[in-house]
Amino acid sequence: ATKLNAAAVAAGKKYFGSATDNNELSDTAYVNILKDGQQFGQITPANSMKWDATEPNRGQFTFTGGDQIANFAKANGQLLRGHNCVWYNQLPGWVTNSGFNSSTLSSVVSTHCGTVVGHYKGQAYAWDVINEAFNDDGTWRSDVFYNTLGQAFVPTAFQAARAADPDAKLYINDYNIEGPGAKANAVSNLVSTLKAQGVPIDGIGVQAHLIVGQLPNLAQQLASFGSLGVEVAITELDIRTTLPASSATLQQQQRDYQTVIAACKGVAGCVGVTVWDYTDKYSWVPNTFSGQGAACPWDQNLQPKPAVQGILNGWA
């Protein structure tokens, strides 16, 4: 195969995909690459299914942006990953600042997850139900959900999502869990507990916002997550570097992409890989890490970088 999704499917996986955002869908040259189902078999909305976009005021749901991306995926025969139900970021003030007591917040979480997941019932292959719940040291993140409800917000969200769309695979998703460590252990322990309690969880999403030349041991950690009896996905892959990127750096980046893809290929439970947008033109990285970027497989001008060959090599 010479295209990324076709190569992933040939390797026995469900998809290779990309995140995208609504403002990018008016860029014709960008869309011409994104809509090719042989290249990208799966789409994730980078922003438009988040809480601030879907329930800006309590009980007032808006799906315009999310629907545009869901319809794009459907029109092009691509799987959809929903992103996300419960996250401390991009959360409207009415959730963070209202001082809800535990029973009210529990109902707010349940209504939000149930309504958003339910709106896309039958359209989403998977949902990131819980996003970024842990600190890097493996302790729970101090946010309105944990501080009000303790760990109970997690089963509440998963149960609401399952009831709303019984066919969607329900994930917990986080970063800095690509290799062994305290945070990966915290996720493993939570997933084991949830499964023992009968909470409906199907997968672990490993974001994989990585750095050129500094990969953790993904092969080991993906296998460890898979051994818990859930599926695993690499959900937000990009591999950043200091700008400007030299040709030596781009060669190392090619090897790093290959290593990440080969790690997924080698773990039976790993179902697919999503890049957090396919092109540097729309990468989140330079906005967050000053002086860094060039993290995606295609460059600013929508030209493939050596990383594209690295991905193909990884699936081969």
Q: Which residues lie below 8 Å from residue 243, measured CB to CB, with a gap of 6+?
A: 286, 291, 292, 293, 294
Is 236 catalytic? The answer is yes
- The span from the CA of 108 to the CA of 103, in Å, is 9
- Please, what is the minimum distance in Å from the beta carbon of residue 170 to ligand G3I? 17
Of the pair 46, 232, the CB lying nearest ligand G3I is at 46
- Please, what is the minimum distance in Å from the beta carbon of residue 251 to ligand G3I? 25
- The span from the CA of 219 to the CA of 215, in Å, is 11
Given the residues 55, 132, 178, 236, select the one marked as catalytic. 236
Q: Which residues lie below 8 Å from residue 168, measured CB to CB, with a gap of 6+?
A: 82, 117, 120, 121, 124, 125, 126, 127, 161
Alpha-carbon dihedral sign for residues 33, 36, 41, 47: positive
- Please, what is the minimum distance in Å from the beta carbon of residue 78 to ligand G3I? 18
Of the pair 46, 116, the CB lying nearest ligand G3I is at 46
Of the pair 39, 84, the CB lying nearest ligand G3I is at 84
Q: What is the DSSP string of 112-165?
A: HHHHHHHHTTTT-SEEEEEE--B-TTSSBP-SHHHHHHGGGHHHHHHHHHHHH-
Of the pair 56, 59, the CB lying nearest ligand G3I is at 56
- Please, what is the minimum distance in Å from the beta carbon of residue 128 to ligand G3I? 8
Residue 51's alpha-carbon distances to 56, 102, 212, in angstroms, are 7, 19, 32
- Please, what is the minimum distance in Å from the beta carbon of residue 129 to ligand G3I? 13
Of the pair 40, 284, the CB lying nearest ligand G3I is at 284
- Please, what is the minimum distance in Å from the beta carbon of residue 282 to ligand G3I? 9
Of the pair 90, 103, the CB lying nearest ligand G3I is at 90
Residue whose Cβ sits closest to ligand G3I: 284
Residues of this chain that interact with ligand G3I (CB under 6 A) are: 46-47, 89-90, 207, 236, 284
- Which of 175, 157, 173 is CA-nearest to residue 205? 173
- Which of 47, 39, 38 is CA-nearest to residue 20? 47
Please state the φ and ψ torsions of residue 198, each to the nearest 5 degrees. Answer: 80, 15
Residue 116's alpha-carbon distances to 45, 169, 226, in angstroms, are 13, 15, 28
Residue 283's alpha-carbon distances to 115, 237, 273, 277, in angstroms, are 29, 11, 17, 6
- The span from the CA of 313 to the CA of 308, in Å, is 9
Just list the catalytic residues.
236
